[in-house]
Amino acid sequence: MESIAKPRIPIVRLEGIAKEYTKGSVPVRVLEDVSLDIWEGEFIAVMGPSGAGKSTLLYLLGCLDRPTSGRYQFLGRDISGLSDRELSLLRATRIGFIFQTYNLLPSHHLLDNILVPFSYHPQKKPDAQQLAESALRDVGLQDRKFHYPSELSGGEMQRAAIARALVIDPILLLADEPTGNLDSQTGQDILRLISGLHQKGRTIILVTHNEEIAQSAQRCFYIRDGRIEERRTCRR
């Protein structure tokens, strides 16, 4: 008897997502009717002007915030009803974050910064330090593991942030303006590193306002006033 192939499902599926905040007593709609599918191994760029809703969308995708309405499926599972504890577990085991401002702990040397995600992990990892050292090696910082963030350049801090995101071996990697605080040459170095991760099979969603940076992605979503106005192939 021939086996029946299981239907392919996207890593991320958003259906009619809206997000609203209250400013004083006035409701402010930040995202409106956002629907999209993101598949394993894709490299997506999210573009748009300041205030368009790019970072809000990324935080929703990363389970750092909840939508006001709509449906979010992660690996086929509707996560709308998950508790805060369950969302924390999802972040700790499945999703890696790269922030524009690095978010490194100034009182911790690099190795301890890379180990931070394991403090949220539900199970102790006996090989956590080995995994952290391997992640630092992957981004070329193995010789800086006992340096503090204040002793590093901007590019080195962003590499460390990437290592921290990778140490849990995430299914989804989210990057919020990862080159925004860097000079153009260092930014290109970081972009090449991120592109290399995609070539190794990582699924990446990158927020940027820079058209040149977006060219590294496969697909672009352009957001204006909280809505996806355009979907297109990015690469020339």
β-strand 77-78 against 69-74: which pairing, if any? antiparallel
pLDDT one-digit tens code per residue, 181-229: 888 888 889 889 999 999 999 999 999 888 888 888 999 999 999 999 8
What are phi and psi for residue 122, nearest 5 degrees? -70, -25
Percent of the chain residues past pLDDT 70, beyond the cut? 94
Q: Are the C-beta atoms of 178 and 14 separated by less than 8 Å?
A: no
Between CA 114 and CA 110 the distance in angstroms is: 6
Torsions phi, psi for 90 (to 5 deg): -60, -45
Q: What residues are paired with 176 via a beta bridge?
A: 207
Global pTM value:
0.89
Q: Note whether 79 and 72 are within 8 A (CB).
A: yes
Q: What is the pLDDT of residues 48-80, one digit of tens each?
A: 888 889 999 999 999 999 999 999 999 999 998
Domains, the chain = 12-233 (3.40.50.300)
Instruction: Please give the pLDDT value at position 134.
Output: 92
Q: Amino acid letter at 43?
A: F
